[in-house]
Structure 1
Amino acid sequence: MNATAASRARALYDARSKRMPILPFTDDDPTLGMADGYAIQQELVALLLADGDRIIGHKVGLTSEPMQQMVGVDSPDYGPVLASTVYGEGEVIPLDRFIAPRIEAEIVFVLGSRLQGPGVTVTQARSAIAGAVAGMEIVDSRITDWRVRLADTVADLASNGAMTVSSRIVPLADLDTRLIGMTLTRNGELIDTGAGAAALGDPVAVVAWLANVLGTTGTSLEPGHLIMTGALHAAIPMTRGDVFRAEFDRLGPVTVRVGGES
């Protein structure tokens, strides 16, 4: 065990449970990189699984140019989706479960068959996908004021907070995921738009990328896993009482209602 990674993971674990942000790890050590971030993430995931949580999929973040610009990077990152963070369609999501939450609309895939890299092609990834669903992710940072560099957000489960998906699964047959358009409203007012091509040019390419990256560690994508393919727009801050609705071409709508106390 890497003692430094373990202590940093414990700091993030405490920040998550107490909802009190911590200073960026890269403040103390600006040389920290992606590999350091994943070493911390691995230790943090072990702590969360020891509490009884379980991994039901993965998120890929920083797949669109606006999100990469926000963090100042040019590469995606990834983290697990934990069962405890998934909310049902239209369910009220308590604001006090987070520190500095922001919302993103994105295309989510449901895996139909096992997929393991390296060497996975986009065609192979597409054939492994059971279908696409409309989704929204709540990103949150346990790092003060979102002052994250790549190592910080990677360590922090790729800044994952929670997610919700529609119950409607749409098969990929005759569906070009690059061309899926999306409109996002807050309290009925249009606030952003996007299209599937914002996610690495094609959301299916995100699945192939993830399978190949995870494959280097011997990890595979499993049937039933949810794969979040990244925001199609810049993340939007959330406030109590907000109702967000993302409407996707062909996939339909998904709604998030923001409440107060949990």
Structure 2
Amino acid sequence: MSQSQDHGVEAAATRLLDAARTLIPCDPVRGLLPDSTAATGYAVQTLLTRAAEEAGRRVVGRKIGLTSVAVQTQLGVDQPDFGVLFADAEVPDGGVAPADRLLQPKVEAEIAFVLGADLADDDLDEETVRRATRHVVPALEIVDSRIAGWDITFVDTVADNASGAMYVLGGRPTPLSEVDLPGVRMEMRDGAGELLSRGTGADCLGDPVLAVLWLARTCRGLGVPLRAGEVILSGALGPMVSISAGGSYTATLSSLGSVSVAVKPVVDPAAGPAVVRTVGLPR
């Protein structure tokens, strides 16, 4: 990249960092960038990831977004995107996600893969992904955009860590050989039992294994292959649901079990606002 292009990428990263630090949504970053390519979006995301790691956060996996054809069409793209998962972003199954750390969150149900082997070879295919998968579990992903009003294009969401925020892993570990992933049926309900979202494994690129294969090939091409032990959120099985503070959400996936989370403020109002860690760009 030229010096002016680098400046645009750094300016976009700074804008997103400020939004995360202040918990005030920002303007889209696409106007700061030299172009709207995936490579430019990932250049911003890489700066944010490095800044987070320098502040002590640990990457433990990846998340895949835009696996729905309808959403791809809406954003005018023909491929998914991905972000990183941080260890401190995991919420225990049945636990509380702190609303104080979220801006404008939504929740979606997914199938999470836990890898037992690296996916770094040249001959990656569906069977390679299956052999490398230790097990799968049901998951909830809390997505959140640092960009006001979710006014995002493809490059905006890629830059913003694919709109990632928090995640929950539930159910029991299930070997791939024991489940037909495309045939998995998902229902998400709120605390009152109202149905909020419904879908199947086939709604994730036809088969969540194909989503993980896409990710494995993409990350290998970028020089950051998937490694044993990583958690991979393979993509939404149904429509995202807007979250309200104080709400609770449970997704039940046939053959895999259920996973749930509550979203509540966790800061004592008398103690003042939540303290948000300041993260700066790496130098």
TM range (shorter): over 0.9
Higher mean C-alpha deviation, range 7-16 or range 124-133 = 7-16
The verdict on how the C-alpha distance between 1:74 and 1:175 changes in structure 2, with shifts beyond 3 A counting, is same
Do the aligned residues in 1 keep the contact of 2:137 with 2:174 (CA within 8 Å)?
yes
Q: Percent identity?
A: 37
Letter in 2 for 1:226: V
User: Between Structure 1 and Structure 2, whose CA radius of gyration is higher?
Assistant: 2
Do the aligned residues in 2 keep the contact of 1:118 with 1:213 (CA within 8 Å)?
no
Residue by residue, what CA displacement relative to the aligned partner does 1:44-68 show, whole Å, maximum 9, x if unpaired?
1111111000110000000013433
Residue by residue, what CA displacement relative to the aligned partner does 1:222-248 show, whole Å, maximum 9, x if unpaired?
111100011111211000121100000
Instruction: Count residues in correspondence.
Output: 262
1:70-81 correspondence runs (5 A): 70-81=74-85
Mapped pair 1:260 → 2:259 = no
Letter in 1 for 2:226: L
Q: Which residue number in structure 2 is paired with residue 87 of structure 1? A: 91
Q: Which residue number in structure 2 is paired with residue 229 of structure 1? A: 234
Higher mean C-alpha deviation, range 184-193 or range 47-56 = 184-193
Unaligned regions of 5+ residues in structure 1, if any? Answer: none
Return the TM-score normalized by structure 1. 0.95
- Residue 173 of structure 1 aligns to a residue whose secondary structure is helix
- The partner residue of 2:244 within 239, 247, 254 is 239
Residue by residue, what CA displacement relative to the aligned partner does 1:101-156 show, whole Å, maximum 9, x if unpaired?
00000000100111115441011101100111010000100111100000000000
Letter in 2 for 1:139: V
- Residue 89 of structure 1 aligns to a residue whose secondary structure is coil
Mapped pair 1:206 → 2:185 = no
Question: 1:219: Cα distance to partner?
Answer: 1.2
Question: 1:177: Cα distance to partner?
Answer: 0.8
- The partner residue of 1:145 within 141, 144, 149 is 149
Q: Which residue number in structure 1 is paired with residue 112 of structure 2? A: 108
- Partners of 1:12 and 1:220 in 2: CA distance: 26
- The partner residue of 1:215 within 220, 244, 247 is 220
- The partner residue of 2:125 within 109, 113, 121 is 121
- Partners of 1:70 and 1:183 in 2: CA distance: 24
Q: Which residue number in structure 1 is paired with residue 202 of structure 2? A: 197
Unaligned regions of 5+ residues in structure 2, if any? Answer: 268-283
Letter in 2 for 1:243: S
Q: Which residue number in structure 2 is paired with residue 248 of structure 1? A: 253
Letter in 2 for 1:223: A
- Partners of 1:67 and 1:243 in 2: CA distance: 25
Q: Which residue number in structure 1 is paired with residue 273 of structure 2? A: none
Question: 1:35: Cα distance to partner?
Answer: 1.2
Q: Which residue number in structure 2 is paired with residue 37 of structure 1? A: 41
- The partner residue of 2:173 within 169, 174, 181 is 169
- The partner residue of 1:184 within 172, 175, 188 is 188
- Partners of 1:118 and 1:5 in 2: CA distance: 31
